[in-house]
Amino acid sequence: MSDHDWHDLGPADALKEPALRQVRVGRVALALSYRDGAFSAISGVCNHVGGPLGEGRLDGEYVVCPWHHWKFHYRTGEGEPGFEEDRVPAHDTKVEDGRLWVDLTPRTRRHKTPHDPHPLARPVVRAPGPPRVVGIGTTAMDTKEPRFSGSDHLLSIALDHAGTRGGAETKSIRLAELSFRACEGYYSKAARACTWPCSITQMDPEDQLDRVYEAVVHWADVVLVATPIRWGNASSLFYKMAERFNCVQNQITTMDRVLIRNKVAAFIVVGGQDNIQAVAGHLLGFYAEMGFVFPPFPYVAHSRGWSAEDMERNVAAVQNSKELRDGTCALVGRALELARHLIEVPEPATRLARGGRKAHHLEDM
């Protein structure tokens, strides 16, 4: 190691509270702690994705990163038990004449234990083969007590048509059958805290939204989303899924990395009462922000209007409507036609300008 580089942080008494704080001296970030009557300092940059350790909390003898909860010993910088080789630099401190000094030259080096990348982190490369359509059903009905769902009914018709008449490979995902956590707002902590794959997906092997990410980002050429209308909006499960897709859109913001290219989205909206255009508009805006393109007339929908409270008639109307069946088949046909064009003549993977928005290249901490 090189010679010491002592720096005066200020009056020691003023730095005893809070027990953990983030300190920056030039380009050096430190997690400064006061515990058991003594000061300690480790690097303020987490090994994971650079979270500010000093803005976290103390859990016994470990500093917990506020972004993704990685832990490092407050004095040695070593990872928690089982992860000791994953360590951040530790710095010496001393108190002289009532002032706290820290050695900006660390006494130990940073070491990042190699970790296999998550399977979703692989490059997005379309595999050869026919067009592929994934249908995502967002109704929240109890799967243990099945009953008729208008949106699921039309989605099944669409997938059947895509496979038998459209020559496509198909896959059906019903969100009600998956166990996945709600978005926990990592983006609200810092843009870089929201990662691809999703931070929850990386930390929780039991979270099943990885199936949706795999299908949408890596597998499908066409994503067909079906939703009921609930109080004038898409289903609650749609929004639960949509919030977890911030990790896809955020790659554009933080990395200039567009994960969704040459993919088509289309929609099925079914409600007993109205607000179809508002629901469809939100769906279009959300999927456009991720990079999807749309066929002409990108959704089919059904509603009997505001005064139609006799829901049993609404069920019968959807079940028996030839117009809805034909319209759904035509929708998936238009989506496949556009998808085939994009497969044959894909848009080049060039940098895309986003009107009114820009990607922020965030400095390393």
Q: Do 87 and 191 share a structural domain?
A: no
Q: What is the CATH number of the domain that holds 63?
A: 2.102.10.10
Same domain, 263 and 126: yes
CA 289 to chain centre: 13
pLDDT band (50, 70, 90) for residue 365: very low
Residue 361 above 70 pLDDT?
no
Q: Looking at the structure, tell me whether residues 87 and 166 fall in a common domain.
A: no
Q: CA torsion angle for 11, 13, 18, 22 (degrees, to 10)?
A: 20
The Cβ of residue 283 has, within 10 Å, a number of other Cβ atoms equal to: 23
Query: What tokens does 165 get?
Result: 């008449």
Residues 159 and 260 in one domain: yes
What is the structure's pLDDT at 363?
44
- Give domain status of residue 263, yes or no: yes
Count how many residues are written for the chain: 365
pLDDT at 357 over 70: no
In a shared domain, residues 79 and 127: no
Q: Give the pLDDT band (50/70/90) at residue 338.
A: very high
> Which residue range(s) make up the domain with 55?
6-103
pLDDT of residue 97: 97
Residue 256 lies in a domain: yes
Residue 362 forms part of a structural domain? no
Residue-wise pLDDT tens digits, 209-251: 999 999 999 999 999 999 999 989 999 999 999 999 999 999 9
Of the chain, the percentage scoring pLDDT greater than 70 comes to 95
- For residues 98 and 44, state if they share a domain: yes
Residue 332 pLDDT greater than 80, yes or no: yes
Instruction: Note the pLDDT tens digit of each residue in 245-298.
Output: 999 999 988 888 999 999 999 999 998 778 999 999 999 999 999 999 999 999
Side by side, the strands of the sheet bearing 299-302 are: 169-174, 132-137, 222-228, 264-270, 299-302
DSSP state of 233: B
Share of the chain above pLDDT 90, in %: 79
Q: Do 91 and 138 belong together in one domain?
A: no
Q: In the numeric block, which tokens belong to residue 275?
A: 């607000």
Establish if 1 belongs to a structural domain: no
What are the tens digits of pLDDT across the range 105-144?
999 999 998 888 999 999 999 999 999 999 999 999 888 8
Reported pTM: 0.87
Mean residue pLDDT across the chain: 92
Residue 320 — left, alpha, or beta (φ > 0 → left; ψ -120 to 50 → alpha)? alpha
Interval 145-168: pLDDT, tens: 888 899 999 999 999 999 999 999
Regarding whether 336 and 223 lie in a shared domain, the answer is yes
The region that residue 185 occupies, defined by phi over 0 for left and psi between -120 and 50 for alpha, beta otherwise, is left
pLDDT at site 271: 87
Helix-strand-coil percent breakdown of the chain, rounded to 5?
30, 25, 45
Is the domain of 202 the same as that of 314? yes
Check whether residue 144 and residue 84 sit in a common domain.
no
Of 75, 103, 131, the last residue of a domain is 103
Answer yes or no: is 273 within a domain. Answer: yes
Q: Return d(Cα 255, Cα 270) in angstroms, integer.
A: 37
Instruction: Tell whether 353 is covered by a domain.
Output: no
Q: How many domains does the chain have?
A: 2
Answer yes or no: do 126 and 92 share one domain: no
Tell me whether residue 363 is in a domain: no
How far apart CA 264 and CA 285 sit, in angstroms, is 13
Pair (265, 337) in one structural domain? yes
CATH code, domain carrying 148: 3.40.50.360
Q: Tell me, what's the pLDDT at 324?
A: 96
158: phi then psi, degrees, rounded to nearest 5: -65, -45
Q: Give the C-alpha distances (Å, rounded to integers) separating 28 from 45, 89, 189.
A: 9, 11, 21
Q: Please check whether residue 36 lies inside any domain of the structure.
A: yes
